[in-house]
Chain A
């Protein structure tokens, strides 16, 4: 018991508070989002999502106790072991998994099922943290970087094979801890540049864009010193940029499946698929937009409750918050997430052990990616990628995996005083 008391003193209370607040918001919002005004139900009813979510919250607290009770060195020592086990499960899912909504990502016994891909996030974080904690590893060296990327890529590819694109994309979030640990800056910059060009190709017809790039190259030609090197560099950059544009077009129109194409195209033209993806985004925006500043009031929403918004308790849960709590609710959710991310980064940087620090950044990165994609999707800024809003969306696997993800870091942080500084931060 003495140990537990010490735990309460050492656990980071701001993060715990934000975690609990988000859980509570999630629970009441799930109840609101699926409320059938004609049925006599309460939020505890296990036949409805909010009741089951309460069950998931309860089991999460058991997970928290287990995590906190485990020795902090366990995560460091067994990180590769955990990662390997999860990879095996991911392979197993490809063989014996259940297909739900097009993704073969569920592993289940009877009515109970989990999505191993959710747990791959913390396992990969542990493995990446373990790998980078070696002081000899330097990310500006290709062999080391490639190994780090391989740790990320292997689970990502396995999940992609399950046809779960959303969860696969989450792994791109690991660029943030890599960047923090010394990834050459040009790599994320290049990524941002490619994404920027990618968006431009959606908005502007290909020929115009290529013409504009050529024009820009000519303008630069007159501005730069006309050394051979500079001219060659300019030509190469212009050609690469044109290549990206052509490649992006090719990728969107010829590589992506039609439903994926639409998810992207609908961003610039909501009318492209009015009853499919366009419908979802339109209804989602209507729900959020109709909330106004103060919202319609708790349980007073109509768009989500009456099934206009799809997936209203999972991926589109934010619609209910936006509709019933209005802009104030939006501020609250965004504020809580920003606070959590900020706190995570702050705590990560005060770690004495590099393993803990990298892991902390991984947690922040994954949460940041989920938050950005999920909210961005519901407000029509980003493509519809079906990933949950952490701690709020309905679902056992995602809640458990985020809880494990967060609380392993809280456990590590609680013991930072006991850790030896293996490496200067």
Chain B
């Protein structure tokens, strides 16, 4: 009997041991859910944000850098109940209500995970509170970086970064871009936006082991699953920061733009959109407040006029009309035409003009004739049909100058401007119901035509290069040893052969020396070729426009200037442009009186019309 009882007992021992082993086999070998659960609670995925790339100007001066800021974080679990709230509030200059509100929010989020308590303390603020923070257990400092600027310039060009919006996040997700997470910073405007992917670098991930209180205990598996953050690429822009500042200074109290481009490469040397804003306003803790203020400003400082505001080009457009006519062979450079003001007005000047003089004096009737010859080449007996054929051909020429389309600058929000197609006129007047008399204002750059200052600057480049351009761009090197984006190395040929430029370039030289340009704006040392324009503005005083390049041979800079509501091109836009040329080529300003005079001009707050007086009759110079 006892023998069988021994066996029963041994059997029970074996049964229990194997039950345990079976259970353990299931838990440890078959069921993976425990492994996941264990990994979830003991591993913390920590994102390491890379350093955002720095932006330099063409001479290696820093335009944008990173500034360390310090977020005060709170771990609610570790905050002592009896902490000196009053002292804490006075230390950080917050009210007790704010303290309670933030604390409640942090507690609601998590008691054992840190939440930001006070964001973006500066270095000096951090230094002030650093020692005292140890008296407040549960509060600690988490450093990160924001953008910093040593200068108040280049606001619209640089753009700004900010927390990604929920809408943007959804949009990117829909496009299959899963890089960003809520709370990430992203470039929102300007270069920060266009070069976001290059600037941001690549986020790194650390898997840290944490204990039950969420306190880090070292790298998981000694870090074999960690990826290092890759810092963003630095951007080397072609901007000359000194020239930029100089341009912004000249545009104080003026609405409008200046764009300077190196015509040989398409590199932008300066881009001013005035009124401008200090990029320092859109960083740090005051972002929202300042952004709203800028947004509400009636002068629209956030609006990048240089890329987004279309103007009728006015008389600067005559250069393209002449080039098109020459290339089409409907005229030659010796053609003379009397200044007969039956259709368009003009202003007093030597009469009649040849091509060079027509540019020098900006004769309107001359271009009425030039454009007529382009449009009506009598290839068809039907005037309407003939106009269609001529207009279409002209459209091709003008398009080849980059007008009416986005040039493709390395900035978001470029506008294509206005250049109408045949279809547009068909729609307005009916097919074969329009002819030259319907479109003749285009001859002198008025009417259905809109060019951004960038388009105008690009025109200046084409004239400087005698027929080609490179797409204007800011970034000449991505990374410290890099290249620009490939599209910026591609040369765009217009439809005009180089030999046709000579008469026009000479006319532009004379326009500056002894033409429509204000005599004070002339430069003795450098041969500047320029063309004035005065764009009619139905809402107020005319816009003053000027394009130029210098020197005449082997040009180094091309400039377009638009000053809104300031009247005649030769008197406001031209002197500003030539000052830019002088600053860039000579680095010093010899014409101090002109410089000081231009600084005092104010076209926003008071209407200074002295230059326009007596010239109102003859617009479109």
Chain A: residues with CB nearer than 8 A to chain B?
37-38, 176, 179-180, 182, 282-283, 285-293, 302-303, 305-308, 322, 326-327, 330-331, 334-335, 337-338, 341-342, 345, 349, 361, 364, 368, 371-372, 375-376, 379, 381, 425
Q: Are B16 and A368 in contact (CB under 8 A)?
A: yes
Q: Tell me whether A372 and B24 are in contact in the complex, defined as CB-CB below 8 angstroms, given that A180-B6, A345-B6 are known contacts.
A: no
Q: Are A327 and B6 in contact (CB under 8 A)?
A: no
Interchain CA distance A375-B13 in the complex, whole Å: 13
Main secondary structure of the interface of A (DSSP, over half): helix
User: Which of the 9-residue segments B31-39, B441-449, B505-513 touches chain A?
Assistant: B31-39
Interchain CA distance A283-B43 in the complex, whole Å: 14
Interchain CA distance A302-B35 in the complex, whole Å: 11
Q: Are A289 and B21 in contact (CB under 8 A)?
A: no
Q: What are 9 A-B pairs with beta-carbon distances under 8 A?
A: A288-B27, A289-B38, A293-B28, A302-B209, A334-B21, A334-B24, A364-B13, A371-B16, A425-B2
Q: Are A293 and B29 in contact (CB under 8 A)?
A: yes
Q: Is residue B210 within 8 Å, beta carbon to beta carbon, of the partner chain?
A: yes
Q: Are B28 and A289 in contact (CB under 8 A)?
A: yes
Interchain CA distance A371-B19 in the complex, whole Å: 12
Q: Are B27 and A285 in contact (CB under 8 A)?
A: yes
**Which chain A residues lie closer than 8 Å to B23 at the CB level?**
379, 381
Q: Are B34 and A286 in contact (CB under 8 A)?
A: yes
**Which chain A residues lie closer than 8 Å to B168 at the CB level?**
none
Q: Are B212 and A341 in contact (CB under 8 A)?
A: no
Q: Write the chain B residue with the least CB distance to A308.
A: B212
**Which chain B residues lie closer than 8 Å to A322 at the CB level?**
24, 27-28
Query: B217's contact among A283, A306, A335, by CB below 8 Å, is which?
Result: A306
Q: Are A334 and B20 in contact (CB under 8 A)?
A: yes
Q: Are A302 and B38 in contact (CB under 8 A)?
A: yes
Q: Distance (Å) between the CB of B237 and the closest chain A CB? A: 46
Interchain CA distance A331-B10 in the complex, whole Å: 18
**Which chain A residues lie closer than 8 Å to B34 at the CB level?**
285-286, 288-290
Output the residue of B2, B17, B31, B37 with the most chain A CB within 10 A. Answer: B17
Q: Write the chain B residue with the least CB distance to A279.
A: B212
Q: Distance (Å) between the CB of B2 and the closest chain A CB? A: 7
**Which chain A residues lie closer than 8 Å to B24 at the CB level?**
288, 322, 327, 330, 334, 379
Across chains A and B, which 10 residue pairs bring their CB atoms closest together, nearest first?
A: A289-B34, A306-B211, A290-B38, A302-B42, A330-B24, A289-B27, A286-B38, A338-B17, A327-B28, A307-B212
Q: What number of B residues sit within 8 Å (CB to CB) of A? A: 38
Interchain CA distance A180-B213 in the complex, whole Å: 50
Q: Are A337 and B17 in contact (CB under 8 A)?
A: yes
Output the residue of A306, A322, A327, A334 with the most chain B CB within 10 A. Answer: A306
Q: Are A37 and B21 in contact (CB under 8 A)?
A: no
Query: A37's contact among B5, B27, B42, B218, by CB below 8 Å, is which?
Result: B218
Interchain CA distance A283-B20 in the complex, whole Å: 18
Q: Tell me whether A180 and B2 are in contact in the complex, defined as CB-CB below 8 angstroms, given that A306-B211, A334-B17, A368-B13 are known contacts.
A: yes
**Which chain B residues lie closer than 8 Å to A37 at the CB level?**
217-218
Write the B194-217 contact mask toward A (1 if CB under 8 angstroms, else 0).
000000000000000111110001
Interchain CA distance A37-B218 in the complex, whole Å: 8
Q: Are A306 and B212 in contact (CB under 8 A)?
A: yes
Q: Is residue B9 within 8 Å, beta carbon to beta carbon, of the partner chain?
A: yes
Interchain CA distance A293-B21 in the complex, whole Å: 12
Q: Write the chain B residue with the least CB distance to A288.
A: B27
Q: Is residue B25 within 8 Å, beta carbon to beta carbon, of the partner chain?
A: yes
Q: Distance (Å) between the CB of B27 and the closest chain A CB? A: 4
Q: Tell me whether A327 and B211 are in contact in the complex, defined as CB-CB below 8 angstroms, given that A289-B35, A349-B6 are known contacts.
A: no
Chain B: residues with CB nearer than 8 A to chain A?
2, 5-6, 8-10, 12-14, 16-17, 19-21, 23-25, 27-29, 31, 33-35, 37-39, 41-43, 209-213, 217-218, 220
Q: Distance (Å) between the CB of A289 and the closest chain B CB? A: 2
Q: Distance (Å) between the CB of B130 and the closest chain A CB? A: 24
Q: Are B217 and A327 in contact (CB under 8 A)?
A: no
**Which chain A residues lie closer than 8 Å to B28 at the CB level?**
288-289, 291-293, 322, 326-327, 330
Q: Write the chain A residue with the least CB distance to B43.
A: A302
**Which chain B residues lie closer than 8 Å to A285 at the CB level?**
27, 34
Interchain CA distance A425-B3 in the complex, whole Å: 10
**Which chain A residues lie closer than 8 Å to B38 at the CB level?**
286-287, 289-290, 302-303
Q: Are B20 and A292 in contact (CB under 8 A)?
A: no
Q: Are B209 and A306 in contact (CB under 8 A)?
A: yes
Interchain CA distance A425-B217 in the complex, whole Å: 59
Q: Are B31 and A289 in contact (CB under 8 A)?
A: yes
Q: Write the chain A residue with the least CB distance to B215.
A: A306
Q: Are B20 and A375 in contact (CB under 8 A)?
A: yes
Q: Distance (Å) between the CB of A267 and the closest chain B CB? A: 13
Interchain CA distance A361-B28 in the complex, whole Å: 32
Query: B13's contact among A302, A341, A379, by CB below 8 Å, is which?
Result: A341
Q: Are B10 and A342 in contact (CB under 8 A)?
A: yes
Q: Are A290 and B2 in contact (CB under 8 A)?
A: no
**Which chain B residues lie closer than 8 Å to A289 at the CB level?**
27-28, 31, 33-35, 37-38
**Which chain B residues lie closer than 8 Å to A349 at the CB level?**
6
Q: Write the chain B residue with the least CB distance to A327.
A: B28
Interchain CA distance A136-B34 in the complex, whole Å: 55
Q: Distance (Å) between the CB of B162 and the closest chain A CB? A: 37
Q: Tell me whether A180 and B212 are in contact in the complex, defined as CB-CB below 8 angstroms, given that A306-B217, A322-B28 are known contacts.
A: no
**Which chain B residues lie closer than 8 Å to A375 at the CB level?**
20
**Which chain B residues lie closer than 8 Å to A381 at the CB level?**
19-20, 23
What 10 additional pairs, Cβ within 8 angstroms, besides A176-B12, A306-B42? Answer: A37-B218, A38-B217, A179-B8, A289-B28, A289-B31, A289-B38, A308-B212, A345-B6, A368-B16, A372-B20
Q: Write the chain B residue with the least CB distance to A297.
A: B221
Q: Write the chain A residue with the least CB distance to B14.
A: A338
**Which chain B residues lie closer than 8 Å to A338 at the CB level?**
13-14, 17
Q: Distance (Å) between the CB of A308 and the closest chain B CB? A: 5
Q: Are A180 and B5 in contact (CB under 8 A)?
A: yes
Interchain CA distance A95-B405 in the complex, whole Å: 97
**Which chain A residues lie closer than 8 Å to B212 at the CB level?**
306-308
Q: Distance (Å) between the CB of A295 and the closest chain B CB? A: 8
Interchain CA distance A345-B572 in the complex, whole Å: 112
Q: Are A345 and B9 in contact (CB under 8 A)?
A: yes
**Which chain B residues lie closer than 8 Å to A361 at the CB level?**
9
**Which chain A residues lie closer than 8 Å to B218 at the CB level?**
37-38
Q: Write the chain B residue with the least CB distance to A176.
A: B9
Interchain CA distance A322-B27 in the complex, whole Å: 10
Q: Are A342 and B13 in contact (CB under 8 A)?
A: yes
Q: Are A330 and B21 in contact (CB under 8 A)?
A: yes
Q: Distance (Å) between the CB of B405 and the closest chain A CB? A: 60
Q: Are A308 and B6 in contact (CB under 8 A)?
A: no
Q: Distance (Å) between the CB of A274 and the closest chain B CB? A: 12
Output the residue of B20, B213, B217 with the most chain A CB within 10 A. Answer: B20
Q: Distance (Å) between the CB of B210 and the closest chain A CB? A: 7
**Which chain B residues lie closer than 8 Å to A327 at the CB level?**
24-25, 28-29
Interchain CA distance A275-B247 in the complex, whole Å: 67
**Which chain A residues lie closer than 8 Å to B2 at the CB level?**
180, 182, 425
**Which chain B residues lie closer than 8 Å to A179 at the CB level?**
5, 8-9
Q: Distance (Å) between the CB of A190 and the closest chain B CB? A: 15
Q: Write the chain B residue with the least CB distance to A306.
A: B211
Interchain CA distance A182-B25 in the complex, whole Å: 36
Q: Distance (Å) between the CB of B588 and the closest chain A CB? A: 63
Interchain CA distance A368-B9 in the complex, whole Å: 11
Q: Distance (Å) between the CB of B482 and the closest chain A CB? A: 42
Q: Distance (Å) between the CB of B585 and the closest chain A CB? A: 64
Q: Tell me whether A308 and B21 are in contact in the complex, defined as CB-CB below 8 angstroms, given that A37-B218, A291-B28 are known contacts.
A: no
Q: Are A290 and B39 in contact (CB under 8 A)?
A: yes
Q: Distance (Å) between the CB of A4 and the closest chain B CB? A: 33
Q: Write the chain A residue with the least CB distance to B17.
A: A338
**Which chain B residues lie closer than 8 Å to A306 at the CB level?**
42, 209-212, 217
**Which chain A residues lie closer than 8 Å to B5 at the CB level?**
179-180
Q: Distance (Å) between the CB of A381 and the closest chain B CB? A: 6
**Which chain A residues lie closer than 8 Å to B8 at the CB level?**
179
Interchain CA distance A287-B6 in the complex, whole Å: 36
Interchain CA distance A379-B19 in the complex, whole Å: 11
**Which chain B residues lie closer than 8 Å to A302 at the CB level?**
38, 42-43, 209, 217, 220
